[in-house]
Structure 1
């Protein structure tokens, strides 16, 4: 009998001592999950900034908020333009109830809510320590502001009737 046969016999004996594996026991699954979570928290903890960003992103979620779908983006659908001046990015968001046209340029944001109505537009971007910057749409639905958007952003529109939120985009 060589060393490998001896080790194999020992392993077989240990497996026999364990008995039949019971994989359907929820307590075993819960214990395994708890052990794995604890090990992951020690060996590979979530960075504090990432955890804070996730908490803030979840806080933006609301069951009452309706998603406004991006239906036009000049980066995708636009006609190429030659010239020294960079063309503004044109975006259109749509729901069953309204359409929002937005122009993002070096000068800020400008747009219109259709059908025309007053609204409050919050410009959301990354982690926010304070309340997000807000623009007001007049009774014709027009809004503008010198907010310089960089990185990912979304708009949350509050009308008298409902709250809408656009998809997140990167400028």
Structure 2
């Protein structure tokens, strides 16, 4: 259980922060950028939830919890030491990715196939889900970049990849099952 009695610690005043294993790194470290962007995504998702209800809101709440799991995963290096750890770090697992895929498939059944690219917009929820989609893509890019220099959990990257797809399909659902999607008209303003 996490207990936060004091919010400021002053330990980061000189531009460093602690990772999940206690190591201190620069606040601009690639790992910090990856999990920091995941935290940003969670915050943006909180704004999207202001416009959601019912099953959609329940799904978004599950994803917010998963994003905390993902942040915990990304802030903890030393993948090789996981098996020997007294308290193994929390890692995103394949079943979380599978749940996203199952939900994408279930949502997609309701939608007509796309015959055009769509512009971010439509309903307030759809617009916010498109913001979530683009932040998820940035978190994915930063995680892939991190994976080029350090070992990270491959399921974490896969989760982010699938999550951006989830947000895209959910945005279409939020747009009256695609009926209110804003279609791109190539060259319309030439």
TM-score, structure 2 length as denominator?
0.23
Which structure's residues are more often helix, by fraction?
2
TM-score, structure 1 length as denominator?
0.25
Which structure's residues are more often strand, by fraction?
1
